[in-house]
A = this chain, B = another copy of it.
C-alpha cells in the first residue's frame, strides 16, 4: 500500500497538528499569519527578524492598483459573482513571467551568481562580472529598471534598511545592491533597482525555496485581490471597464493567413 508522508496538517479525533505543533494550543493566537506562511514553506520556524523582513516583502507586493491581475479579478467577479474562488484564481493566473515574475527571476539570477562565490566576497567585483556576463549574453539584468520609479523605487531602499536592522542582509541583497552601484559603468546608463527584484533578493537571503519565490508574490497578491474585490463590492468599476472596451470595439475584416 502506497503511503504519503507529510509534515503538514493531520487530524485525529481529539487533536489537529500542523508542522508537528498542536494547531489549537500552539499555533492559533500565538503565530502570526506571516510567520505561519514562512514556517509552512520551509518547515522551520522563522526568527522574529526573519518574519519582519518576510512580511515587509509581502507588503511590498500586495497591491499595485489597477494592474492586469486586479482588472481580471474584478471582471471575473462581475461575470461570475457566484464564485469568489474563480475571481481570485483568475487574478493569480496573471502572476506569470511579465508582471509578477521579476521577483523569482531576480532571486534565481542572484542565487546562481552567489553560489559560485566564496565569502567574504568583494560584491562590487562579483557584480561587475555578473553584469558584464549578462550583457555579453545579450540578456537583461533582472531587477534593474522601472517604468514609473525612474529615480529609484522607494521600496528598495526601505527593504535594504529593514533587512540590515534585522541582520538579514545576506549575499543576495549584497550582490543586488552592488549591481545598483556598478551597472552604470557597464550599461552606460543608471537604472533604478526595482522593488520586485529587491524582494526576490530578500526572499532568497531568507532561505525560501527558489522554485517558489513566485508563490510568495502570489500569496501577497491574494490579499491584494481580496482588497480589490472588497472595493468592487463597495464602489464597482468592472462594468464600466467592460463597457469602455466593448463600446469602443471597431469591426475589421478577418485577417486570413498563417504563420510565415
Task: Give A residues with C-beta under 8 Å from B.
Answer: 1-20, 22-25, 27-29, 31-34, 36-37, 40-44, 52, 54-56, 58-60, 62-72, 75-76, 78-90, 92-101, 111, 148-151, 154-155, 157-159, 161-162, 165, 204, 207-212, 214-216, 218-220, 222-224, 226-231, 233-235, 237-238, 240-242, 244-246, 248-259
Contact = CB atoms under 8 A, between A and B. Distances in A.
Contacts of A83: 80, 82-83, 85-86, 93, 96
B162 A28 contact: yes
B31 A59 contact: yes
A216 B6 CA distance: 24
Given A43-B254, A226-B216, A80 B97 contact: yes
Given A154-B14, A159-B28, A88 B81 contact: no
B240 A2 contact: yes
Contacts of A42: 230, 256-258
9 contacts: A1-B248, A2-B244, A4-B250, A9-B65, A12-B148, A42-B230, A79-B100, A82-B96, A234-B255
A14 B192 CA distance: 12
A155 B252 contact: no
Contacts of A231: 6-8, 43, 255
B59 A68 contact: no
A102 to B, nearest CB: 12
Given A65-B246, A79-B98, A253 B34 contact: no
Nearest to A27: B59
Given A42-B257, A64-B9, A80-B99, A241 B94 contact: no
Contacts of A242: 66-68, 71
B13 A151 contact: yes
Contacts of A60: 23-24, 28
Contacts of A100: 79, 85
A143 to B, nearest CB: 17
A57 to B, nearest CB: 8
Given A6-B249, A245-B241, A85 B84 contact: no
A154 B255 contact: no
Given A75-B72, A93-B85, A226 B219 contact: yes
